[in-house]
Amino acid sequence: MSDEFDEQALIQRAKVDKDAFGELYEIYYKRIYNYVYYRTGNVEDAEDLTARIFMRAMRHIERYQDQGVPFSAWLYRIAHNLVANWHRDNSRRKIISIEDITHWKVSDDSPEFTAQLIEDKDALIGAIRRLPSDRQELLVFKFVERLSNAEIGNIMGRSEGAIKSLYHRTLLALREDLQGDSRESDRKRPFFFPRRRNE
């Protein structure tokens, strides 16, 4: 029995059995919570919104239909809508939390290397925060949640091609922003964000 078949069987059971829905909750809670936390930036709101997301999912699970994308995409779509409403209600700009960006790996113990890494990380976070909220959200889906373009498109209500285009424009905008910072500070970009040879 494949994992996909198991998930679909569990979803079908969850439509009539709350215990089965509880299993889905256990499987997906951490991923949905992390996404919401990155979009809100604080624990209390993330916990509250995550609870609301799963309550809404439980109320509407009988309407869920397999459309060839993972069940998580359906949950992310609910999360996307509730987080967007939360930001609109609170008139806050969507941001990525800097405290929990922990994907940087340091393999050199020299103080110069560590100082440069911190400077690079701050520059990148600053550039991400200056992006429009939909581009910040795309980066969360790509690099935190590691979703495919098709899955992201399903969540954000866009075609796979539109997501590829948005991703390309986002990377170009980040590169331009980081190079602008470099020119303003009159220094070379460090090796974490090098210029291409033909520049």
CATH classification at residue 177: 1.10.10.10
- Do 9 and 84 reside in the same domain of the chain? yes
The pLDDT value given to residue 196: 44
The pLDDT value given to residue 78: 93
Q: Is residue 143 part of a domain?
A: yes
Domain count, the chain: 2
Task: Look up the domain containing 31 and give its range.
Answer: 3-90
- Do 19 and 70 reside in the same domain of the chain? yes
Q: How far apart are CA 89 and CA 78, in angstroms?
A: 16
Q: How many CA atoms lie within 13 A of 103 on its CB side?
A: 11
Q: Is residue 170 part of a domain?
A: yes
Q: How far apart are CA 46 and CA 49, in angstroms?
A: 5
Which of residues 31, 59, 90 is at a domain's end? 90
> In what helix (H) or strand (E) does residue 83 lie, and over which residues does it extend?
helix 71-90
Distances (CA, A) of 175 to 95, 138, 194: 19, 16, 10
Which of residues 60, 90, 120 is at a domain's end? 90
Model-wide pTM > 0.85: no
The pLDDT value given to residue 37: 87
As a residue count, the chain comes to 199
- Do 72 and 11 reside in the same domain of the chain? yes
Q: Is residue 199 part of a domain?
A: no
Q: Is residue 102 part of a domain?
A: no
The residue assigned the tokens 């967007």 is 84
Q: How far apart are CA 82 and CA 50, in angstroms?
A: 9
- Do 76 and 149 reside in the same domain of the chain? no
Tokens of 116: 């440069």
C-beta of residue 159 within 8 angstroms of C-beta of residue 53: no
- Do 139 and 72 reside in the same domain of the chain? no
Q: What is the CATH number of the domain that holds 57?
A: 1.10.1740.10
10-residue mean pLDDT profile of the chain (199 residues): values are 66 91 93 88 90 94 84 91 85 50 50 65 81 87 86 90 93 86 51 45
- Do 49 and 128 reside in the same domain of the chain? no
Q: Is residue 165 part of a domain?
A: yes
Which of residues 90, 124, 146 is at a domain's end? 90
Q: Is residue 32 part of a domain?
A: yes
How many CB atoms neighbour CB 155 within 10 A? Answer: 26
- Do 52 and 118 reside in the same domain of the chain? no
Q: Is residue 10 part of a domain?
A: yes
Q: Is residue 72 part of a domain?
A: yes
Count helices and strands in the chain by DSSP H and E runs: 8, 0
- Do 145 and 84 reside in the same domain of the chain? no
